[in-house]
Amino acid sequence: MKHGNDEIRVLAPESMKPRMDRLASLSRRSMKDHGLQVSRREALGLGALATMVLAGCGGGSGGGTSTKAAASGLAGKPLESDLLIYNFADYVDPKDIKAFMKANAGTTVKETYYASTDEMEAKVKAGGGDYDIIVPGQNSIPALGQAGHLRELDHSLLPNLKNLDPAWKDLDYDKGNKFSVVKNWGYTGFYYRNDVLDTQPKTLMEFFEALPAAAAKGRTNMLEGTTLIIGNAMIAMGLNPDSEDPADYDKAVKFLQPLAKSIKTLDASTYQADSEAGKIVLGQGWSTDMAKIAVANKDVTCVAPDGPAERWADNWCILADAKAPVAAHAWINYVLDPKVDLREIKFTGAATPNAKTWELPGAQEIRDNPLVNVPSEKIQKYTFILSPTPKVLNLRQQAYEKFRATR
Amino acid sequence: MSTPDLQTGPDVSTTSAPSPTPPPPAAAVGGAKPRRRGGKATGPRYPAWLAAPLLTYYLVIFVAPLLLLVAFALATQADSFAGEQYAFGFNLSNFEAVFDGLYLDVFVQTFLLAAGGTLATVLVGFPLAYWMARHVSSKRKMLVVLLVMIPFWTSFLIRTFAWKLILDGNGAFAGALGIDILYTWKAILIGLVYGYLPLFVLPVYASLERMDWTLVDGAKDLGATPWRAFRQITLPLTRPGIMAGTLLVFIPMAGEYVIPQMLGGGRFLFIGSVIQGQFIGASNWPFGSAVSIALMLILSAFVVLYVVSALKEEQFGE
């Protein structure tokens, strides 16, 4: 493609370039014949659009989603100049952002950060911020999707979606990947000082049961948050963490209240450093953090629980009012490339839903770490917490307050 | 609308503290009134429109958000995430829920903590202010005032986090002293006193500074014990400063969120955390607003009682 001011950036499979170019020159010529002057850029846009519509979009690689593509109206459009990603800090390798900008000259990618999903949700719901991409956990997606904050994904612009493991596609919280693509996944487990504790808890219930004895020996910590306390207790008890029955929440509170004194701190922001320093004798932890804790302190045993536990997934989503939807799709497609994704998981240390990434030679270390890439027979017993209705959020919040008010 | 008046109370009395006969806060409230008591204006009279900037400021910064909060508190939350999340109306159930047993407990805990924190601040702050006003040479006074204020130049969050390191039983400092109070109410109390001390010390210092100390000397000459002189002269004359200081400290302490979270390890539930959780965790803005308003009303009632009783005492003192 000639580089000049009539350059046009289009997200489409490489193989389609000659076809677009040909169509562009054809349409340009025919317009000229009719006495219309069009620039190469306009013609190329037209050509791309025509290719998409005529050739069943995606040139055979996306496949079967042509109607959706036509509906989104994004196919063939050039990438916008500014893409703003609203994400957790250190959750994307800055080198990949640079590489993306190099490959898509003219598009600037910027990242701003949030400390918690709650913070992100509050900002998105309030509107404003000009974000294009957000990275919500699975339990934010029902709320954001139903409220119309998320843009339906155009699968024809995400040919790399085919790389995903089917186990991480079409999930309960987003059937058909209408709004989201899993970025990384993990679970909530626990860890303990093996030189301090007399027991070796293996299940989530055993974790709760070990709290009183552990609290007598040092600091115990649970992660601050309603899903982490109430949701995890309900999962351990075999209850549905998204129950709409107030009685279930009463049961969870009754279960937790006697333990309240044995849970010395509720902290999710600094617990990793504290546990690496050995200051926490028994605590709840996210898999990505635990992988680092296990390496940093040999006296700490990290556990991916046997039996029921919470699993989570962080997802790429595009906001409904995104100003750069084409570039946003391009970015998501870019990070679904196994080679890029490998760099990403090496940077974040989190498990990937990308089956092709695991096959790459460099992925071994993370793939074979059972704390990160939990065996599938284990993960199948893990549950997503979804928070499908305001009622569930309210019941959970109230149960959490009852627990926290217990001395 | 009594709330805004009460909120301005402390500021007004701070500025009026240095004057030897401070007008009662209630009369000084609302800079909008161009006249003073009963129209006996002694200074030049200014046209009323001069108050317009101030009034506009209050309307935009205070009254409008407050009305918004009231509107949300009376709204009903939707059953589904789809569509409008709130139906505005006149729904009192949010307020009924506030007076549910659970939240009453939290309110009591919160006010006990704020009262304890205020008392501790007075016990630490008054001697400090007294020392600054009486025993520091006038050349060094500026330096000492500066030293009191310097911590304010650092982020509140960072200063609180520093206390986490200081109080950590596994850390170098508390560990060496054998103190292990991090994540207890004691740690919260220390954090509160530390965080709010300057807000108490400065107004009290100002009123002690301007006091006519010859009165105390006179009392002593006439045979009063130092304690009696303090009780009958120093204390009544510095009452406006003490009132301003305690209010400036008590009110934000009652809504404090960061200190209990960081130094109490999140294990103590105060009303500030409830409000935060309702707004952000549960996305229940109506209930969060109702709790906020309840907090404001209760605080306002406290302040009115406090001001009235303090004024009564002052009259008896005179």
Cross-chain Cβ contact B266/A265 below 8 Å = yes
A18 in reach of chain B (CB within 8 A)? no
Contact A217, A281 (CB under 8 A): yes
What average pLDDT does range B37-50 have in this prediction? 71
Cross-chain Cβ contact B82/A148 below 8 Å = yes
B255 in reach of chain A (CB within 8 A)? no
Query: Could you tell me whether strands A133-134 and A265-266 are parallel, antiparallel, or unpaired per DSSP bridges?
Result: unpaired
Query: Could you tell me whether strands A280-286 and A180-193 are parallel, antiparallel, or unpaired per DSSP bridges?
Result: antiparallel
Contact B298, B98 (CB under 8 A): no
What residues of A are in contact with residue B285 (Cβ under 8 Å)? none
Roughly what angle, to the nearest 10 degrees, separates helices A325-335 and A94-103?
120
What residues of A are in contact with residue B284 (Cβ under 8 Å)? 390, 393-394, 397
pLDDT score recorded for residue B5: 41
Q: Which residues pair with A193 in a beta bridge?
A: A300
Quote the percentage of chain B above a pLDDT of 90.
63
Using one digit for the tens of pLDDT, what is the confidence trace for B86-126? 899 999 999 999 988 899 999 999 999 999 999 999 999 99
Measure the CA–CA gap between A166 and A356, rounded to whole angstroms. 12
This prediction has a pTM of 0.80
pLDDT score recorded for residue A9: 55
What residues of B are in contact with residue A142 (Cβ under 8 Å)? 81
A358 in reach of chain B (CB within 8 A)? no
Domain A82-185+313-372, CATH: 3.40.190.10
User: B279 to chain A, minimum CA–CA distance in Å?
Assistant: 8
Cross-chain Cβ contact B281/A397 below 8 Å = yes
pLDDT score recorded for residue B178: 84
Roughly what angle, to the nearest 10 degrees, separates helices B138-149 and B185-209?
150
Residue of A nearest to B274 (CA): A401
Taking the alpha carbons at both ends of chain A, their separation in whole angstroms is: 69
What residues of B are in contact with residue A264 (Cβ under 8 Å)? 183, 265, 267
Measure the CA–CA gap between B261 and B272, rounded to whole angstroms. 10
Which residue from B81, B82, B102 is facing A401, i.e. has the nearest CB? B102
pLDDT score recorded for residue B33: 45
Measure the CA–CA gap between A3 and B22, rounded to whole angstroms. 77
Measure the CA–CA gap between A342 and A119, rounded to whole angstroms. 29
Size of interface A-B (CB pairs under 8 A): 92
Cross-chain Cβ contact B265/A148 below 8 Å = no
What residues of A are in contact with residue B279 (Cβ under 8 Å)? 122
What average pLDDT does range B187-212 have in this prediction? 94
B52 in reach of chain A (CB within 8 A)? no
> What domains lie within chain B, and their CATH numbers?
100-317 (1.10.3720.10)
Task: Examine the pLDDT at B278 and tell me if it is beyond 60.
Answer: yes
B181, B269, B276, B278: best to mutate for the A interface, most A CBs within 10 A: B269
Q: Which residues pair with A184 in a beta bridge?
A: A314
What residues of A are in contact with residue B266 (Cβ under 8 Å)? 224, 265-267, 404
In the numeric block, which tokens belong to residue A76? 């063939």
What residues of B are in contact with residue A121 (Cβ under 8 Å)? 280, 283
Measure the CA–CA gap between A64 and A168, rounded to whole angstroms. 20
A396 in reach of chain B (CB within 8 A)? yes
Question: Could you report the predicted ipTM of this complex, rounded to two decimals?
Answer: 0.79
In the numeric block, which tokens belong to residue A11? 């997200």
B102 in reach of chain A (CB within 8 A)? yes
| Segments in chain A below pLDDT 50 | 1-6, 31-33, 35, 38-70
Which residue from A146, A225, A266 is facing B265, i.e. has the nearest CB? A266
Q: Which residue has the higher pLDDT, B36 or A200?
A: A200
Residue of B nearest to A122 (CA): B280
Roughly what angle, to the nearest 10 degrees, separates helices B239-254 and B285-317?
160
Rg (CA), chain B: 23
B158 in reach of chain A (CB within 8 A)? no
Domain A187-311+383-404, CATH: 3.40.190.10
Mean pLDDT of chain B: 85
B265 in reach of chain A (CB within 8 A)? yes
3-class secondary-structure state, position A12: coil
pLDDT score recorded for residue B106: 93
A226 in reach of chain B (CB within 8 A)? yes
A262 in reach of chain B (CB within 8 A)? no
DSSP string covering A188-231, please?
EEEEEETTT-SS---BHHHHHHHHHHHHTTSEEEE-SSHIIIII
B84 in reach of chain A (CB within 8 A)? no
User: B18 to chain A, minimum CA–CA distance in Å?
Assistant: 43
A387, A404, A406, A407: best to mutate for the B interface, most B CBs within 10 A: A404
Contact A387, A139 (CB under 8 A): yes
CB neighbour burial string for A228-255, b if at least 16 within 10 angstroms, e if fewer: bbbbbbbbbbebebbbeeeebbebbbeb
Q: Which residue has the higher pLDDT, A336 or B18?
A: A336
Cross-chain Cβ contact B284/A393 below 8 Å = yes
User: A402 to chain B, minimum CA–CA distance in Å?
Assistant: 7
Cross-chain Cβ contact A404/B282 below 8 Å = no
CB neighbour burial string for A8-23, b if at least 16 within 10 angstroms, e if fewer: bbbbbeeebeebbbeb
User: B23 to chain A, minimum CA–CA distance in Å?
Assistant: 43
Residue B264 phi, psi dihedral angles, 5° rounding: -95, 5
pLDDT score recorded for residue A35: 47
Q: What angle do CA B52, B55, B56 make, to 5 degrees?
A: 85
A266 in reach of chain B (CB within 8 A)? yes
What residues of A are in contact with residue B267 (Cβ under 8 Å)? 263-266, 404
Task: Examine the pLDDT at B27 and tell me if it is beyond 70.
Answer: no
What residues of A are in contact with residue B280 (Cβ under 8 Å)? 118-119, 121-122
A365 in reach of chain B (CB within 8 A)? no
Contact A179, A170 (CB under 8 A): no
Residue of B nearest to A260 (CA): B267
In the numeric block, which tokens belong to residue B28? 């000084």
A150 in reach of chain B (CB within 8 A)? no
B277 in reach of chain A (CB within 8 A)? yes
User: B194 to chain A, minimum CA–CA distance in Å?
Assistant: 22
Query: Residue length, chain A?
Result: 407
Distances A179 to A74, A329, B290 between C-alpha atoms, Å: 15, 12, 34
Residue of A nearest to B165 (CA): A274
Residue B31: pLDDT band with limits 50, 70, 90: very low
Closest CA to A225 of A406, A407, A401: A401
Residue of B nearest to A277 (CA): B170
User: A51 to chain B, minimum CA–CA distance in Å?
Assistant: 36
Helix/strand number for chain B, H first, E second: 17, 2
Which residue from B80, B278, B282 is facing A146, i.e. has the nearest CB? B80
Q: Which residue has the higher pLDDT, B178 or A160?
A: A160
pLDDT score recorded for residue A287: 96
Task: Examine the pLDDT at B2 and tell me if it is beyond 50.
Answer: no
The structure tokens 């075999």 sit at: A238
Residues of chain A with CATH 3.40.190.10: 82-185+313-372, 187-311+383-404
Cross-chain Cβ contact B267/A265 below 8 Å = yes
Using one digit for the tens of pLDDT, what is the confidence trace for A331-351? 999 999 999 999 999 999 999
What average pLDDT does range B249-264 have in this prediction? 92
B171 in reach of chain A (CB within 8 A)? no
